Amino acid sequence: MIKDKLQQLGFSPNEITVYLYLIENGKSRAGKIIELTGLHRNLVYTSLESLLKKKLVSKLTSRGVAEFIPNNPESILENVLDQEETAKEIIIELHKRHTTEAGDIQIFAGVEGIKRARNRVLNYPAGSEFYVLGATNLTSKPEMESFWKRFHKEREKKKISQKILYELSSDPLVKEGLAWRNSLPLSKARFLPFNIDSPFWFDFIDDLLNIGLMSDNPITISVKDKKIVEGFKKYFNYFWNQRTITKTGLDAVEEAIYDQLNALKPGEHYYVLGALGKDYPPGFHELYDKFHTERIKKGVITKMLCFQESYDNLKEKFAKCGDPEGKVSFLRKYINTTPIPMQINIYNNKIFFILYEKVPTVISFDNPIMAESFKNYFDNIWQQETYTLQGPEALQKIWFEALDTKELRLIGARGYFIDYYPELFKKIEAKAKNTPGIIWRNIVDRSVQGHAITKYPWSRTKYNLSKIGNPNVVWLYGKKLVIANWADKKKPIFFISENEHLVQSYNDYFEELWKQ
């Protein structure tokens, strides 16, 4: 460590070896130094001459024999101060000779160089705007943060505003740094829409550009040129106005949903279009179990329009995670799962898409107008009390729902499902046998008499309808009305309504028919 520090002060490696030998061993002859350091005699004598000139070593001669003794180590500071005075004199002379405005370039070395270059920003007048492009986690280390705090305090006093674009990162230190800078007066910070793990960054103001190159010994190149700064400003503004970020992998999904959770207070909502509750890629079940357990515990409310196939799975998940009564977890069925399942999350004027591919993708938009549009779309669907399903599997689920309510009222049921999809109906029959207290009441025409649908011990049938070949069947159970249309036997269509007035009017109609 001390050798590195001495080298930073301008000592050559040979000077360091000779000087440290004298410090540790005291007065010595040149021959002894040569013997014990292993350096060539010319290198030792050259180093001794240099140390003598720097007044770091003294030479004593006794009986014609020279001995060398180190001066007080404080002489190092005196030597540096002498160099500083010399540098000031040189600068004055150079300014006299400096005639061109172009090519004003300075190079600052080390962490101290980063600080010196950044402090030049504070020389600009109030109202100036300062930019940082590509701030990295390397400048977010704790040893730098104390400097940034002092810098920003001075910047605020001088009323210099700033905009910062950070490299995209999930590093907690970087996230904390970005959040802190957004909390400062005259300061805005965002992530770049990509992460290239760059070892350099740019900061600029008015006519000053600093280029930082990070390494074990960082270098900052400082250039004064207004035209160059104007060019970098255009480059900066292009990325500043990009409000879309794309990430891939399970980690990206975890980051997105937890950023959402951390941004919401107890009692606040987020909304999901197309929630997927089954057939997740690997790792998602465990992630969502953990997430919903923490969400429910915090009291953050979700409203989800889920894929039809996912409804039961999500209900079970919420119950398992601590919300069996659905106090902070609200679900409604949406559409059938698309070929590439995708869900859309909306919260706090932000929106992100999750594409459930083999490698999941998260696309985030920090766009209030877009978020509001999707929220309005969500609300319109959520408030609708009628939706449509299609296909035999959908009807099987309707049967299962009806069995859970134990009382099913049917108008015009002719047993089409039993006839056309016997394998699917076997599961319904098995569940019915194991559900005590169920009753199916069916009002139909005489042509159905003797069909299997009329023979179950839980079946009650009245033949009060005329045979008119109506392809529609009315289902009533719980708080739902289902109208099943069997015009296409392969793809029956089901209109489902939860409108309480409509459900009640059909129930009244059923009971009037049943009494006849």
Span 410-415, average pLDDT: 91
pTM to 2 decimal places: 0.50
Contact assessment for residue 444 and residue 413, using Cβ atoms and an 8 Å cutoff = yes
Domains present along the chain, CATH in parentheses: 2-76 (1.10.10.10), 104-242 (3.30.870.10), 246-384 (3.30.870.10), 388-515 (3.30.870.10)
Span 362-379, average pLDDT: 84
Is 40 strand, coil or helix? coil
pLDDT confidence bin for 137, thresholds 50/70/90: low
Contact assessment for residue 264 and residue 300, using Cβ atoms and an 8 Å cutoff = yes
Q: Which two tokens stand for residue 346?
A: 């909306």
Contacts from 425-433 at CB under 8 Å and sequence distance 24+?
A: 425/396, 425/399, 427/396, 428/396, 428/399, 428/400, 428/403, 429/456, 431/400, 431/403, 432/403, 432/456, 432/458
- pLDDT computed for residue 180 by the predictor: 85
Q: Return the closest-CA partner of residue 5 out of 106, 112, 145.
A: 112
Is 359 strand, coil or helix? coil
Span 81-103, average pLDDT: 66
CA–CA distance, 57 with 48 (Å, rounded to integer): 8
| Average pLDDT over the chain, rounded to an integer | 86
Lowest mean pLDDT across 130-144, 177-191, 305-319, 374-388? 130-144
Query: For residue range 265-293, what is the model confidence (pLDDT) as tens digits?
Result: 999 999 998 888 887 888 899 999 999 99
- pLDDT computed for residue 102 by the predictor: 44
CA–CA distance, 16 with 485 (Å, rounded to integer): 94
Cα–Cα distance list, 385 to 212, 475, 491, 493, 497 (Å): 59, 16, 23, 17, 5
Q: Return the closest-CA partner of residue 252 out of 192, 174, 169.
A: 169
Cα–Cα distance list, 371 to 20, 115, 243, 349, 362 (Å): 67, 40, 12, 5, 16
Single-letter amino acid code for the residue at 142: P
